[in-house]
Structure 1
Amino acid sequence: MIRKLLDVVGPEHNRPIRRMITALVVCAVLQGVAFALLVPILQALLGSDPDSVWPWVWALLGVSALYCAAYYDSLRTGFDAGATLSRMLHNRIGDQVASLPLGWFGPERVGRLGQLATKSVMDVMGVPAHLLRPLVTSFVTPATVVVIMYVFDWRLALAATLTAPLILLVYRWSAGLTRTADEARTAAQAETGGKVVEFAQLQPVLRVFGRGEQGSGGTGLDAALRNQAEASRRVLRTGVPGLVSFALVVQAAFTVILVTGVYLALDGGLDVAKLLAVLVLAARFTEPIAEAAVLGSTLRTAQAALDRIAELLAEPRLPEPSPAREPHGHDVEFEDVRFGYDGTPVLSGVSLRLAEGTMTALVGPSGSGKTTVGKLIPRFWDVDGGVVRVGGVDVREIDPEVLMSKVSVVFQDVYLFEGTILENIRLGRPGASDEEVRAAGRLARVEEIAQRLPYGWDQKVGEGGALLSGGERQRVSIARAILKDAPIVLLDEATASLDPENERAVQDALTHLTAGRTLLVIAHRLQTVAAADQILLLDEGRIVERGAHHELMAADGRYASFWAQRSRARRWRLAARPA
């Protein structure tokens, strides 16, 4: 665990941890020496010259004073290291997250990242403050005791030494028994936590269907709770035999030393005073080891947290070019691009060009790879084959900050931060003045939203923008993109699922956003598609048709069929059933 902790902290930040470990080792050695000094003290007290005990008493007092000083230093260092460790871990996690491909941040990973940055970091923080001391003491103090036992009687020391491998073997075996069960319990707890949040979020839906109080079964919460209870019982069933076995083997080690000492005393090779003194030392040998068994579950929790953090830190970062190249112009080009998620191909040999200042509409069935095309332009992922160019330069050769400064993305699903409307728009250009932010908001028709809210532009939008409607969140998102003023704009179903009023407002905002830009639109709206300079029909990861609207309609191919289906869908109306 200590090696993994130092690896996670990193060589440039692990000095406080190493200093704390050094203090703990010194403290544990002094404790072992203090225990060992009991042997000559007891020998003197039980021997023929009790007055000879005083030099050893003074030695014990001196070692005890040093131990108290080392103990105080290790406590202070441990708590300082815990606080420092929290800052270091959050910094390392933050640096790593900022360097990962944007496509890495799927919903499941984001949820795990939240748990890792909170609970896992807290678990690791407890290592220097609470766990390293008993862990170091459990190994260093017994080792010190055994070494010093060789000074008093090598035979008893040898007996203690021979029991050590068995103790270690049983300890590893008992830890292995519950490791799998502990992992299952941790996973069950995480699942239950997610189901509880889901149950709370779904209350409106559940109550509409009369299942507000009984809806936990339908959401899977009951099953998750049962799974968690069973996982906890499994930990007990598998852990108790290991704990009992470890306790027995520790007591067996003491028994071996006791039997050896009694045999030597009866044989005349060891006087009774020394036997009693060494047996006291033997008890000090087994006590710290026995305490290690109590730490088992806590140690495994901390180890699992360290493993999760180490796994995140080992995720491959987005490679940065050295030296970086500067793009010339704002056209976009795909050349024989191949890409897939986790080995599943999504794009197969896609080649296209978005001329600077033109509008391209990307259409096709769900799952054809449209959104993936949009994500590869700002380099959310690196392609598996082929090349994506912006301004004639491979995006992998452009500095990521320079590339992102040239691209604005407006998604269908908008996330707003838990701040004010003004703060959420300013995210597009943090250095913008309030007037520049409000000007962008007016172009996106956010001003009319601000005017009806109690605090206007300073109105808090809630977590994820929950206090605004979907269309209002979309307008804030577009205002953010207008403020950024990037030359390349990607719109992914930006007007889907909006009511007519918000759709008109968003369309007006998009007009201001896209004027004179290199524009890629992923849309099903016929009016938007028909107005494009170029239309690309994507199916099963390939571009099967391309051209202007009138050209593709004249060809009477798959695009014409797509247009006919959409046109018929526009005429659908709900009608009352005849009486």
Structure 2
Amino acid sequence: MAGPRAQHRLAARQPGRVRRRPTRGRARGPVRGRGGRPMIRQLMSVVGPAERRLLRKVLALQVLGAVLQAVAFVLIVPVLERLLGDEPDQAWPWVWALAAAAAAQSVVHYWATKAGFQAGAALSRVLHHRIGDHVSELPLGWFGPTRTGELSTLTTQSVMGIMRVPGYLFRPLIGGLLTPAAVVVLMYLFDWRLALAATCTAPFIAVVLRWSTQRTATADRLRAGTMTEAANRVIEYAEVQPVLRAFPGSRAAGGSRLDEALSAQRDAGRQVMRAGVPGQVGFTLTVQAAFTVILVYGTYLALGGSLDVPELLALLVLAARFVEPMAEAANLGSALRSASAALARVQRVLAEEPLPEPEHPAHPAGTDIEFDAVEFAYDNGRKVLDGVGFRIPEHTMTALIGPSGSGKTTVARLIARFWDVHGGAVRIGGVDVRELPAEDLMSRISVVFQDVYLFEGTIEDNIRAGRPEATDEEVRRAATLARVDEIAARLPGGWSTQVGAGGAGLSGGERQRISIARALLKDAPIVLLDEATSSLDPANERAVQEALSELTRDRTLLVIAHRLQTVRAADQILVLDGGHIVQRGTHDELIAQEGRYADFWAERSRSRGWRLAKTPVAN
């Protein structure tokens, strides 16, 4: 989904030690959308120069088309005046002028429609690129439990709604505003009194339009929230199918959450209808009332003799053209509000601040890792690390152990700078990771997490993702070290076997070995392994341990593990508990001390001989 890194870098650098990473045209200005102009400004704020030029072209063509339509409408007046008058033959010049205006309007309409569809496709492409690029730069802490559904809705329904604006909504929006205005202005050429009557109705129409929009604004926001929640529940329901089927009693709970979300979405849709229908009806009645005022006033003038009947009929036809575009725009009010709300949601995501980038990048002197009085807490306020300090010398293996929830994975992710620390510093080669550009930092680190995710594609594609320019020989060597060659050998498709979405076609151990091969191929000087061997059987674990041992010869390795052999092979062991490093040293040093590590070792040693025993059943 991410596009070229050079696209839409519109945000200027900020002074100081760090600059904000460019966000490809980050949204600027207020998030509004009640009228056409604010929505157009919204569109212009979320696209790049090329798309803005295309949108301006569409706008210019639509404006020209609206003016030509108004001219054609006005030319009906002299045509009808002469046809209904004493000399109908004099209507021909006006008929030809009307035909020319209508033909010109048709040609412009064709060009505008074609450009509108092109602009819609361009909007879809650039918004998907921008959202993908920007999301990839946000701190990991931004990705809360609701983000999956929110991003799913944003990249599908929201972007599709925005795509429709240039091709489908610009014409009625611009025509509903500009054509009536042009008609009224041109009416002054024929009868200033009826033109003034039409002008006086405009403020009332504007007030009712604003009222109807405000009625549905709150309901639209509520519906957007329920759509996101429903998307989250649908994704959750699909992901937990194994649990629901293994434990039938849980189906009721899983299904009820989905039912509640879908019911809330349905109720929100009904609320939008209840709020929108009165506003739409009120606007339609106001527009018809405006036409009635012009009709009654024109009849009064005709009965008084100050306005000829043919001219009255012609002007009434023109007055009908005055109200028709506004009524058409009113019928699309819901679509306009939805598109505006979708634009606002995109703007909010693009306005999220990415991790700061250094103004003057530094260059590490090595690959040693240092935590200096690091403090970190998640958004829920729970403090995970409190003054943590340690050093991992380069070209060594450090094992990090501790109870669940002690912050082990957080340590690994702070090294990779998925978050910024709240206190202290994390350094690589003596340089604060905040002073390293993101691409430079990640080029130095390979990460294998406990929760492995594979991209949809082949086994070879997923390994090659570690270093796309690698040769086939290098890919095979990394795969052999992680024993992925055995997986490819027994599968019918071999290296071209499709792994499925997220690696669903493979077992957990197979996915983990492919992930390790990907990290090996990247050949980064720092390797972070979070429970990397937890899903491997003993034979494959031993093979992977041999590969990891080879890595330690010239790489800095941090291993989060509970396996005894992994921990024992480490050059240094750190015990994390309660947000602090409570013990550190080698295996022999720590086993001789009383404390967490000795307890951990004793417990793990006892569990090695653990067996299931059949309990006798009493007669």
Measured against the shorter chain, the TM-score band is: over 0.9
Q: Is the 8 A contact 1:216 1:222 kept in 2?
A: no
SS in 2 for 1:9: coil
| Distance across 2 between alignment mates of 1:7 and 1:80 | 18
Q: Is the 8 A contact 2:152 2:231 kept in 1?
A: no
Q: Is the 8 A contact 2:416 2:442 kept in 1?
A: yes
SS in 2 for 1:408: strand
Aligned to 1:265: 302
Does the C-alpha gap of structure 1 residues 173 and 542 become closer, same or farther in structure 2, counting only changes over 3 Å? Answer: farther
Q: Which amino acid aligns with 2:315?
A: V
**328-337 or 298-307, larger mean C-alpha shift:** 298-307
Matched, 1:22 2:87: no
SS in 1 for 2:357: coil
- 1:511-557 Cα shifts (integer Å, max 9, x gaps): 33444321112222333334333222323333333333344444423
SS in 2 for 1:151: coil
Q: Is the 8 A contact 1:471 1:506 kept in 2?
A: no
| Distance across 1 between alignment mates of 2:254 and 2:569 | 49
Aligned to 1:370: 408
Matched, 1:52 2:82: no
User: How far apart are residue 567 of structure 1 and its match?
Assistant: 4.5
Q: 1:41 aligns with which of 79, 93, 104?
A: 79
| Distance across 2 between alignment mates of 1:255 and 1:512 | 88
**188-197 or 34-43, larger mean C-alpha shift:** 188-197
User: How far apart are residue 110 of structure 1 and its match?
Assistant: 4.3
Q: 2:342 aligns with which of 290, 294, 305?
A: 305
User: How far apart are residue 151 of structure 1 and its match?
Assistant: 2.2
Q: 2:456 aligns with which of 399, 406, 418?
A: 418
| Distance across 1 between alignment mates of 2:519 and 2:318 | 73
Matched, 1:540 2:578: yes
Matches for 1:221-236 after TM superposition, within 5 Å: 221-236=258-273
User: How far apart are residue 270 of structure 1 and its match?
Assistant: 3.0
| Distance across 2 between alignment mates of 1:112 and 1:310 | 13
| Distance across 1 between alignment mates of 2:576 and 2:105 | 74
Matches for 1:56-135 after TM superposition, within 5 Å: 56-101=94-139, 104-105=142-143, 108-135=146-173
SS in 1 for 2:188: helix
Aligned to 1:430: 468
Aligned to 2:205: 167
Q: 1:8 aligns with which of 46, 49, 61?
A: 46
Aligned to 1:279: 316
Matched, 1:240 2:289: no
Q: 2:214 aligns with which of 160, 176, 181?
A: 176
| Distance across 2 between alignment mates of 1:198 and 1:384 | 32
Aligned to 1:254: 291
Q: Which amino acid aligns with 1:524?
A: H
Aligned to 2:368: 331
Aligned to 2:31: none
User: How far apart are residue 183 of structure 1 and its match?
Assistant: 3.4
Q: Is the 8 A contact 2:150 2:231 kept in 1?
A: no
Q: Is the 8 A contact 1:444 1:509 kept in 2?
A: yes
Aligned to 1:507: 545
**451-460 or 406-415, larger mean C-alpha shift:** 451-460
| Distance across 1 between alignment mates of 2:523 and 2:553 | 11
Q: Which amino acid aligns with 1:293?
A: A
- 1:421-463 Cα shifts (integer Å, max 9, x gaps): 1111111111111111011111111111111111212222111
Matched, 1:149 2:179: no
User: How far apart are residue 505 of structure 1 and its match?
Assistant: 4.1
Q: Is the 8 A contact 1:327 1:390 kept in 2?
A: yes
User: How far apart are residue 120 of structure 1 and its match?
Assistant: 2.4
SS in 1 for 2:46: helix
Q: Is the 8 A contact 1:199 1:216 kept in 2?
A: no
Please list every run of 5 or more consecutive structure 1 residues that lacks an aligned counterpart in the other structure. none
Aligned to 1:445: 483
**TM-score, normalised with respect to structure 2:** 0.87
Q: 1:220 aligns with which of 257, 261, 267?
A: 257
Does the C-alpha gap of structure 1 residues 519 and 209 become closer, same or farther in structure 2, counting only changes over 3 Å? Answer: closer
Does the C-alpha gap of structure 1 residues 227 and 99 become closer, same or farther in structure 2, counting only changes over 3 Å? Answer: closer
Q: Is the 8 A contact 1:492 1:523 kept in 2?
A: yes
**451-460 or 117-126, larger mean C-alpha shift:** 117-126
User: How far apart are residue 204 of structure 1 and its match?
Assistant: 4.4
Q: Is the 8 A contact 1:195 1:219 kept in 2?
A: no
Q: Which amino acid aligns with 1:181?
A: A
Does the C-alpha gap of structure 1 residues 111 and 437 become closer, same or farther in structure 2, counting only changes over 3 Å? Answer: farther
Does the C-alpha gap of structure 1 residues 416 and 379 become closer, same or farther in structure 2, counting only changes over 3 Å? Answer: same
| Distance across 1 between alignment mates of 2:437 and 2:532 | 28
Q: Which amino acid aligns with 1:301?
A: S
Q: Is the 8 A contact 2:401 2:561 kept in 1?
A: yes
User: How far apart are residue 406 of structure 1 and its match?
Assistant: 1.1
Does the C-alpha gap of structure 1 residues 10 and 277 become closer, same or farther in structure 2, counting only changes over 3 Å? Answer: same
Q: Is the 8 A contact 2:575 2:583 kept in 1?
A: yes
User: How far apart are residue 124 of structure 1 and its match?
Assistant: 1.5
Does the C-alpha gap of structure 1 residues 336 and 216 become closer, same or farther in structure 2, counting only changes over 3 Å? Answer: closer
Q: Is the 8 A contact 2:141 2:379 kept in 1?
A: no
**431-440 or 333-342, larger mean C-alpha shift:** 333-342
SS in 2 for 1:93: helix
Matched, 1:318 2:349: no
- 1:180-234 Cα shifts (integer Å, max 9, x gaps): 333333443444444445445544444444579x768645333333333322322
The percentage of aligned residue pairs carrying the same residue is 63
Matched, 1:399 2:437: yes
SS in 1 for 2:492: coil
| Distance across 1 between alignment mates of 2:173 and 2:410 | 49
Q: Is the 8 A contact 2:395 2:552 kept in 1?
A: no
Aligned to 1:291: 328
User: How far apart are residue 565 of structure 1 and its match?
Assistant: 4.6
User: How far apart are residue 122 of structure 1 and its match?
Assistant: 2.1
**406-415 or 315-324, larger mean C-alpha shift:** 315-324
SS in 2 for 1:232: helix
Q: 1:549 aligns with which of 587, 590, 598?
A: 587
- 1:281-311 Cα shifts (integer Å, max 9, x gaps): 1111111111112212222222222222222
| Distance across 2 between alignment mates of 1:268 and 1:36 | 23
| Distance across 2 between alignment mates of 1:204 and 1:559 | 36
**377-386 or 539-548, larger mean C-alpha shift:** 539-548
SS in 1 for 2:581: strand
SS in 2 for 1:353: strand
Q: Is the 8 A contact 2:153 2:227 kept in 1?
A: no
User: How far apart are residue 145 of structure 1 and its match?
Assistant: 0.9
Please list every run of 5 or more consecutive structure 2 residues that lacks an aligned counterpart in the other structure. 1-38
**TM-score, normalised with respect to structure 1:** 0.92
Q: Is the 8 A contact 2:396 2:552 kept in 1?
A: no
**61-70 or 25-34, larger mean C-alpha shift:** 61-70
Q: Which amino acid aligns with 1:17?
A: L
Aligned to 2:527: 489
Aligned to 2:502: 464
User: How far apart are residue 360 of structure 1 and its match?
Assistant: 1.8
